[in-house]
């Protein structure tokens, strides 16, 4: 499966959602996730993200943390299939790291 990682938090470009052939993105206020049970591993979304937030789960540098986060939030957030308006202040967060911990706790 592919997963969305920290770079997406508060940037949320949403260029990824419309290319997914199985519509398996789910939307929170500040972040998107992929449902690992629905992702068919096609890889089409990965190059769409302008800030490289999407990776195969084999490249989850945090020992499975991002896979767990994607699976957990995909259960509770609504499905998204159409690109919305990205946050106006997203440029302020593009180079920041550790955003999930800062903005989700």
Residues that bind ligand SF4 (CB under 6 A): 2, 19-22, 24, 34, 39-45
Q: Which is nearer to ligand F3S, 15 or 63 (CB)?
A: 15
**Cα–Cα distance for residue pair 34/69, rounded to 1 Å:** 9
Per 3-state DSSP, the chain is made up of helix, strand and coil in percentages (nearest 5) of 30, 10, 55
Q: Applying CB under 6 A, which of residues 16, 20, 33, 67 lies at the interface with ligand F3S?
A: 16
x/- mask, ligand F3S, residues 17-56, rule CB under 6 A, reads: ---------------x---------------xx-x-xx--
Contact of 78 with 31, CB cutoff 8 Å: no
Min dist. Cβ of residue 16 to ligand F3S (A): 3
Q: Which does 62 bind (CB under 5 to 8 A by kind): ligand F3S, ligand SF4, none?
A: none
Q: Which is nearer to ligand SF4, 20 or 67 (CB)?
A: 20
Radius of gyration of the CA atoms of the chain, in A: 12
Please, is 63 exposed, middle or buried when counting C-beta atoms within 10 Å of its C-beta (0-12, 13-18, 19+)?
A: exposed
């Amino acid at each position: 499966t592919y997963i969305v990682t920290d770079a997406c938090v508060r940037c949320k470009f949403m260029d990824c959602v419309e290319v997914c052939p199985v519509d398996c993105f789910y939307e929170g206020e500040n972040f998107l996730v992929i449902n690992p049970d629905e992702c068919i591993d096609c890889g089409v979304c990965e190059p769409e993200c302008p800030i490289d937030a999407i990776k195969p789960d084999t490249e989850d540098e945090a020992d499975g943390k991002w896979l767990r986060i994607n699976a957990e939030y995909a259960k509770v957030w609504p499905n998204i299939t159409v690109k919305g308006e990205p946050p106006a202040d997203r440029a302020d967060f593009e180079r920041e790291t550790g955003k999930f911990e800062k903005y989700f706790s």
